[in-house]
Amino acid sequence: MKRALLLVDHGSRRPEANAQLEALAERVRERLPERLVAVAHMELAQPSIADAVEACVAAGAEEIVVHPYFLGPGNHTREDIPRLVAEATTHHPGLRVRVTEPLGLHEKLVDVVIARVEETD
């Protein structure tokens, strides 16, 4: 079964902010070469979730794991993204789709916070 990973962020009017999601996707692709890794922005930028889902299906994906690239749970991760994903997949009844939890409180994020703080010391 061909599996896809769809990384979704909020989206921004700033191209450099949107480019960070693609840079993350490229690093994930390097570590998961067997997976199709795509990006989407919830709003304000392209590709949309609907466009990214269509691209994944066109590339042969039979399963899409959607990861909200957000720090914590909130309306976007609990309501908006699942709704947009459900709307985007209605025309693909055989497609397996699941939405993961956002980044949340993970030990490696603690390491990142400390590293950023130490950069300023």
For the chain, the domains span 3-120
- Could you tell me the two tokens for 11? 């989206």
pTM value is 0.94
- Look at residue 120 in the predicted model and tell me its pLDDT: 86
Task: Determine how many CB atoms are found less than 10 A away from the CB of residue 45.
Answer: 20
- What single letter denotes the amino acid at residue 17? A
CATH topology of domain 3-120: Rossmann fold (3.40.50)
Rounded to 5 degrees, φ, ψ at 66 are: -100, 125
28-47 pLDDT, tens digit each: 999 999 999 999 999 999 99
Task: Determine how many CB atoms are found less than 10 A away from the CB of residue 48.
Answer: 18
Is there a contact between 8 and 43 (Cβ–Cβ < 8 Å)?
no
Residue 121 banded pLDDT, cuts 50, 70, 90: confident
In terms of C-beta density within 10 A (0-12 exposed, 13-18 middle, 19 or more buried), how is residue 12 classed? middle
**Distance in angstroms (rounded) separating the CA atoms of residues 107 and 23:** 22
Peptide bond into 47 cis (omega under 30): yes
Is there a contact between 68 and 99 (Cβ–Cβ < 8 Å)?
yes
Sign of CA dihedral 18, 20, 26, 27: negative
- Look at residue 43 in the predicted model and tell me its pLDDT: 96
